[in-house]
Chain A
Amino acid sequence: MSERKDYEIIADLVPHGSRVLDLGCGDGTLLAHLCRHRGCTGYGIEIDDANVLACVQRGVNVIQLNLDEGLNLFEDRTFDVVLQLDTLQHLRNAEQMLRETARVGRVGIVSFPNFAHWPNRLQVAAGRMPVTRALPYQWYDTPNIRVGTHTDFGVLARKNGLRILETFGLQEGRVVRVWPNLRASTAVFKFERG
């Protein structure tokens, strides 16, 4: 069985024909996939010039914005799905952005590196900050300014009144449903406002 790309697994969480907002859409790969294969429409948000260019080249709608400035551009509940993949950990106002995600979308899908994945635990136990394939940076140069665990996110979601619809881990292109906080390098949550 061939490994599927993480973005394809996440794409399966997005209903066909959804109106999608992809926060931190990168080069637009997922959004293009959703538009082409799942009949979705919507926008990607990106801050990086090279990614904005890549999105325009791909023909996906991209809006250049700094997510730390909020989502004032978007009215309440204007999207079926708001995606925030591998983005949350870069944001200064991570909690605020989570609330904004729930405000503009009916459903939110978030993924981020799980700090409690067992190799990370081993490295921390050995007295060092983890440097792994999923977290390849040194502590002093990491863009991941919000490091959290699979379990932590569940706590934050409940604190903000979000109802978790589905959650699993991703490890090497496979879905991990048993002990994802220990066994997966990436945490995935699908939630809605409670």
Chain B
Amino acid sequence: MGSVGKVTPQSMHFDAGLPLQSGAQLRDYTLVYETYGTLNAERSNAVLVCHALNASHHVAGVAADGAVGWWDNLVGPGKPLDTDRFFVIGINNPGSCFGSTGPMHANPDPAAGGRPYGADFPVMTVEDWVDAQALLIERLGITRLAAVLGGSLGGMQAQAWALRYPQRLGHCVVVASAPNLSTQNIAFNEVARRAIVTDPEFHGGHFYAHGVVPKRGLRVARMIGHITYLSDDSMEAKFGRAIRPNADTPAGTEPGYAYTTQDIEFQIESYLRHQGEKFSEYFDANTYLLITRALDYFDPARAHGGDLTRAYEQARDCKFLVVSFTTDWRFSPQRSREIVKAMVDNRIDVSYAEIAAPHGHDAFLLEDPRYHGVMRAYFARIFEGIGQPATPAHRVPVTQARISV
């Protein structure tokens, strides 16, 4: 199994405004994307990989700065999503901070006088991102994707693809995702947002003009986020109650308490502060607000009176793989089963794997042989099906009883 090697991002500009769910428009925007593998002559082997909160178009391979793609263990030659077979596309969503048009870019509104959008960047939804992705895919000359794949928030985008553009994809792979955020999820997001917004250096979202970054808020936001990505057991295993040694600790002895309320005492504190620090160096505060809001808003059942089964009527011709992880409490297996149930009610072809992994939500980015085995097998089946005629439209309506009600 290899790497796709050195990769270079490409960009595509869109002059026409993107109509958004909010009623606003994203004007004059650019999307950054990467592709791996080769598009076949029939243009039937394309797979779109949707990114989650803090990831980007850089899915696989090595960027010019040496950064390895965020899903490099899954995507590459000979890997479960095999770039020798598939043409894989990663697109950076608008509003992000990794190259596509975002809050740090100039607001085209003349009233803004060329200043960055900042807090005036339009609020984006998962559906808006998918619409933007669909336009880019169209411009690449691809009318139908072999599959759309995503984990977590990326899994929400994959779902939105199947619900909005069911004719434009054959398969949909939804990993560690949910049909909407739970109340607790929204609550965590709100804590993160408040941490950012109440940072004195946030300046109402227009901090760029002040030459500062609300790093304190970003650090705390990342710390709380990070806690929710890990399982209690994996944190326990990795850090336990270990004390961070200090300069006074004699070599080979267990450090004692320093009896401090503000300095780092436990290793877990050190780890979280480090994660927060790293994150605040590269992530944009407005992007964090936008993306957590997009997570909050995603709720395809809402337009159907809260009935997810009715929402999934749209996706009857699509085939699905749904994967969850037993220790993921942020997007628990129960939430994935809700998605599966909506599919089963609609007689949709779906396979569901519930992987017993100890790593919590983060498991979807890690290499687990059972998880990757199922992914490999599913993509192998997709590849075998490429070029075959699409499933004939012989489907019987959902449970007759349900319809007649």
Contacts and interface: CB of A to CB of B under 8 A. Distances in A.
Contacts of B370: 49, 53
B350 A61 contact: yes
Contact of A63 (B351, B396, B401): B351
A174 to B, nearest CB: 34
A56 B377 contact: yes
Q: Identify the interface centre among B337, B341, B356, B374: most chain A CB within 10 Å of its CB.
A: B374
A55 B381 CA distance: 11
Nearest to A54: B377
Contact of B350 (A19, A59, A63, A77): A63
Contacts of A61: 349-351
Interface in B363-405: 370, 373-374, 377-378, 380-381, 384, 396, 399, 401-402
Contacts of A65: 352, 354
Tell me if B's interface is mostly helix, strand, loop or mixed. Answer: helix
B199 interface: no
Contacts of B377: 53, 56-57
A77 B378 CA distance: 29
B345 interface: yes
Contact of A56 (B353, B401, B402): B353
B381 A59 contact: yes
A49 B355 CA distance: 8
A53 B344 contact: no
B344 A74 contact: yes
Interface residues of B, number: 27
Interface string B301-345: 000000000000000000001000000000000000100110011
Interface residues of A, number: 22
A89 B350 CA distance: 27
Contacts of A41: 347
B349 A53 contact: no
Contacts of A142: none
A149 to B, nearest CB: 34
A62 B352 contact: yes
Given A53-B370, A55-B351, A64-B352, A73 B344 contact: yes
Contacts of B347: 19, 41
Given A77-B401, A78-B399, A56 B341 contact: no
A104 B356 CA distance: 28
A188 to B, nearest CB: 27
A72 B344 CA distance: 11
Given A49-B356, A53-B374, A56-B351, A43 B381 contact: no
Contacts of A59: 381, 384
B350 A64 contact: no
Contacts of B380: 57
Contact of B341 (A55, A62, A73): A73
Interface string A73-96: 111111000000000000000000
A49 B323 CA distance: 12
A52 interface: yes
Contacts of A72: 341
A107 B370 CA distance: 34
A64 B353 contact: yes
A43 B353 contact: no
Interface in B133-191: none
Interface in A20-60: 41, 43, 49, 52-53, 55-57, 59
A76 to B, nearest CB: 8
Nearest to B354: A64
Interface in A89-127: none
A56 B380 CA distance: 9
B352 A63 contact: yes
Nearest to A42: B347
Given A53-B370, A75-B345, 16 more contacts: A19-B396, A43-B344, A49-B370, A52-B374, A53-B374, A56-B381, A57-B380, A59-B381, A59-B384, A63-B340, A63-B351, A63-B352, A74-B344, A75-B399, A78-B345, A78-B399
5 contacts: A43-B350, A53-B377, A56-B321, A57-B381, A64-B352
Interface of A: 19, 41, 43, 49, 52-53, 55-57, 59, 61-65, 72-78
Interface of B: 321, 337, 340-341, 344-345, 347, 349-356, 370, 373-374, 377-378, 380-381, 384, 396, 399, 401-402
Those 7 A-B pairs whose CB atoms lie nearest each other, nearest first: A56-B377, A57-B377, A63-B352, A64-B354, A59-B381, A49-B370, A62-B351
